[in-house]
Structure 1
Amino acid sequence: MLPSLHQSLLMVTDLTASTAFYEDIVGLETDRVEEGNVEFATGEGTFVLEEDFDPEVLDAFGLDDPGDDRGKGVIVALDVGTPDDVDAVCERASEAGDVVRMGPMDVDWGRRMALLSDPDGYTIEVSASLSA
């Protein structure tokens, strides 16, 4: 059996602010809300925002505290539907005062894409096939 991506999880400092960013700016729909986390259905797997774990939980799982550089080296790529949807996400982000790292552009591999920063500094690629 070929492995498949089941879930991607980001530890966030402010679950309410992060949830609002992914719902209101990116356009994801909340699938499940539990104590300390919010899940978004994204097709094959789920995308989860998790409140920072306390030190005991981090230690039990052998994890380090994500610290202030939590977004460094992480890119979450989300297909938002159509090239016009990429533009709309960036427009909502700009209007809300969120960081658009790279505005919408068509790239050689057949997609329209843009890069945003979420409230914790994670890089979020929003893109869509140019043939969509």
Structure 2
Amino acid sequence: MSDTSAATQTPQRDDSAEVTPYDLIGGEAAVRALTDRFYDLMDLEPRFAELRAMHPEDMAGARDNLFWFLSGWLGGPQLFVERKGHPMLRRRHMPFSIGEKERDQWVQCMVQAMEEEGVDDALRTRLAVSFFQTADFMRNREG
């Protein structure tokens, strides 16, 4: 599977009248709030301890990277691509030992963040499927 397959889980922004997940969530401020809540939950919830341990003490860079990535992945501005080039998700995550537990913690943390940030139920369900598929693609070890 190539790096591009993970990025195709959610349609990219189109200049037509199509409403994107980025638009439905509420645009830039809402995507930033979602990203911040995601990382706040990692610090607050003991059930995300293994996920938190994979990150540096200062997560400012990780917050920015995820915000930039999500903006484009959800159909908004391609902030990550503009700053860092193609996301190459799998390659960028290879240094980290990612198994089912880490995948599941990431997805659970994101779903909780979406719930707490008031993402519409139908959109949250749709995005949770895409997030799971993308997170599963990041796995580089069994278990």
TM-score category (smaller protein): 0.3 to 0.5
| Rg (Cα) greater in structure | 1
Q: Which structure exhibits the higher relative contact order, with contacts defined as CA atoms closer than 8 Å and separated by 6 or more residues?
A: 2
Question: TM-score under structure 1 normalisation?
Answer: 0.34
The structure richer in strand per residue is 1
Structure ranking higher in helix proportion: 2
Q: What TM-score comes out, normalization by structure 2 length?
A: 0.33
